[in-house]
Amino acid sequence: MAGLVFKMTDKPDGDNDQDVLVDTRAKTERPPLYKVMLLNDDYTPMEFVVIVLERFFGMDQTQAFEIMLTVHKKGLAVVGVFSHEVAETKVAQVMDFARQHQHPLQCTMEKE
């Protein structure tokens, strides 16, 4: 948004002129957000999905259980919306944790 500032200047001949100074500010845009999603599979135990939701997404047991059921019934669920860097980190953490425990759980992200 630009603002106008008026400045009075005294000239030696006695004339008072007004100068206009324009203050321009660059409009900053919010960075895009990304949805992090868990995908259902036929092998990962439901209890493990609840643990993932509690551990990596800060959900309490009730929230985690409800989201796990959504993943199970609908095939996927959005588990959070984050900046690109945070979403990317969450996906990597979940995928690493699942592999360490030998589960095929899939976690993806997409632009909101």
The pLDDT value recorded for residue 91 is 98
DSSP letters, 76-89, are: EEEEEEEEHHHHHH
User: Distance between CA atoms of 76 and 7, rounded to whole angstroms?
Assistant: 61
**pLDDT-derived band of residue 68, with 50, 70 and 90 as boundaries?**
very high
- Check pLDDT > 70 for residue 62: yes
C-beta separation of 48 from 105 below 8 A: yes
65 or 3: whose pLDDT is higher?
Answer: 65
State if pTM tops 0.95: no
- Check pLDDT > 80 for residue 31: yes
b/e sequence 24-57, b meaning 16+ C-beta within 10 Å: eeeeeeeeeebbbbbebeeebeeebbbbbbeebb
